[in-house]
Structure 1
Amino acid sequence: MVQAVFVAVPVLSVVLIGLFAGLFFAFSVAVMPGLRRAGDQAMIETMQGVNVAILNPLFALVFLGAPVAALVTAARDAVVGAGMTTVWSFTALAALLAVILITFAFNIPRNNALEAAGPAVDVADPAAVRGAFEAVWVRWNHVRTLLSVLALVCSAVALALR
């Protein structure tokens, strides 16, 4: 049983980190470039809808599960003295923690400000609301994407070294 956990958790970690990275990647290469083409009101309304829809159990499983699985994997590697595998595992964990920090420091406050603006149809100056949101949110999402991909690569290397 313990051996199965030692095998399953690192695999689960790679899968969850892959989903984690894929989410940010999809926003970087498709969602936000698509919304860039939309009018101000449509962009605000769509992102407000996305910000509500994303708060669901599957998102929570990935957003919280990836760092937990990475932590368990890194701790297991450290306990058994796995050498370079431990370094790769902890690097993956550090990258994920950086993504979470960025999310709470930059992206969520922008999401909250967008919600606080009220329904898109009632926003007096949609261009200003969009301007305060989009460029900063997108820039930090690109950073989250790169860090998430780094975490995925590191966790995959750690898995390969087992």
Structure 2
Amino acid sequence: MLVVLVLCACFMGMANSVREIVKERDIYRRERTIGLSRTAYLGSKIIVLTVITTLQCVIFTLIGLLGRAPAQAALLGAPLAECLIAVIVAAVASMMIGLLVSTLVDNADKTMPVLVLVTMGSSSCPAASSRSPAGRAWSRSPGSYPPGGASRRSRPRMT
């Protein structure tokens, strides 16, 4: 369930920001001529979008986990807080990537195909290349799962 929440959060964070800069490019240029600093402009975008994205993630995660919250926590002692942090961090990171994409394209219509490509690439590549501290890939062979699926206490086998 957490994978679905994080993937949706990535789409949500990037969708919030991917058109922000490109749609206001003419306004930004005009404001720059009268003294608007890049830091103030980008900082205001980041602050406002972070607040909006965080609120969306909290509501989205609470609805998504309604009646399905994890029973055990891994680090913080509160499973709901851990899920919220994971979803919010993924969404805010994707929001920042969305702002970067917004600066690189010249037309707002070109942002949506890039949004899908970047989100899918960023969410699938790290999982495929994750390594253990010893440098070995984490994997589970199909025969290592107990009948009926993986139990909560099962650990990935190092290969």
TM-score bracket relative to the smaller structure: 0.3 to 0.5
Provide TM-score, normalisation by structure 1.
0.32
Provide TM-score, normalisation by structure 2.
0.33
- Bigger helix fraction: 1
- The structure with more radius of gyration: 2
